[in-house]
């Protein structure tokens, strides 16, 4: 099988990113971009992000997860702590996040360290989820093999009966991670592949230092 993709080309002309127009804290720019994309490009799942980890087998792996909260401290998402990604993060907390918003021709790449959030925060988010999602988190031994889809659905039906008139407590193996950034790069597509790239890096005194990178 062979397919030549050399003629796939697009000119990026949606905007620009100038160093003098950027704030001192990258989270302010993240919030601005997030709100703009969410407003002007509603067809995109704005909070969808790719997280890359180094697996227990030594190989990197990337997958899309959903950002559920961001603060000045970092970016929070939820998962099964015993999943492949959960185990990878436990062994090596250095991760990379990336957002790609095709409509806005923007990309954000974040390097940081992941750690579990407080249990009460995970409890609060779990309680806010629809009951089906709560039971789904319990039914799935995430990343583990299973013989069939039918077996998984059977597990869910049994749980629905068990918890029909009961509150569902968050299982201890499920909760949130926060990625505390050490580097955040903002990428704005430009014509002729001369893209704008502004990167913020955290220095040893926890100050953000920003600079422009060549495309």
Is 42 inside a domain boundary? yes
CATH number at residue 25: 2.30.110.10
Is 137 inside a domain boundary? no
Is 153 inside a domain boundary? no
Residue 190 is among the residues annotated as catalytic for this protein: no
Q: How many domains does the chain have?
A: 1
Q: How far is CA 52 from CA 97, 115, 177, in A?
A: 6, 15, 14
Catalytic pick from 63, 157, 193, 212? 193
The pLDDT tens digits along the chain (215 residues) read 999 998 898 899 999 999 999 999 999 999 999 999 999 998 889 999 999 999 999 999 999 999 999 999 999 999 999 999 999 999 999 999 999 999 999 999 999 999 999 999 999 999 999 999 999 999 999 999 999 999 999 999 999 999 998 999 999 999 999 999 999 999 999 999 999 999 999 999 999 999 999 99
| Domain range enclosing 194 | 19-120+174-213
Could you give the angle at which helices 149-162 and 131-139 cross, rounded to 10 degrees? 120
- The answer to pTM > 0.85 is yes
Is 154 inside a domain boundary? no
Is 132 inside a domain boundary? no
Is 62 inside a domain boundary? yes
Is 57 inside a domain boundary? yes
101-136: per-residue pLDDT in tens?
A: 999 999 999 999 999 999 999 999 999 999 999 999
């Amino acid at each position: 099988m062979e397919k030549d993709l050399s003629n796939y080309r697009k000119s990026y002309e949606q905007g620009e990113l100038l160093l003098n127009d950027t704030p001192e804290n990258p989270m302010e720019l993240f919030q601005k971009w997030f709100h703009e994309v969410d407003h002007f490009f509603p067809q995109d799942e704005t909070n969808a992000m790719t997280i890359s980890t180094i697996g227990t087998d030594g190989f990197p792996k990337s997958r899309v997860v959903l950002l559920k909260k961001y603060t000045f401290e970092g970016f929070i998402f939820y998962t099964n702590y015993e999943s492949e990604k959960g185990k990878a993060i436990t062994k090596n907390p250095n991760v990379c996040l990336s957002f790609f918003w095709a409509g806005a021709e923007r990309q954000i790449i974040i390097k940081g360290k992941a750690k579990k959030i407080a249990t009460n925060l995970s409890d609060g988010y779990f309680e806010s989820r629809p009951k089906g999602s709560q039971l789904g988190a319990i039914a799935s031994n995430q990343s583990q093999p299973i013989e069939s889809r039918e077996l998984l659905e059977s597990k869910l039906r049994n749980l629905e009966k068990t918890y029909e008139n009961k509150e569902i407590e968050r299982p201890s193996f499920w909760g949130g991670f926060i990625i505390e950034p050490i580097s955040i790069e903002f990428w704005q597509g430009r014509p002729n592949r001369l893209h704008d790239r502004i990167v913020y890096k955290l220095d040893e005194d926890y100050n953000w230092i920003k600079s422009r990178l060549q495309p």
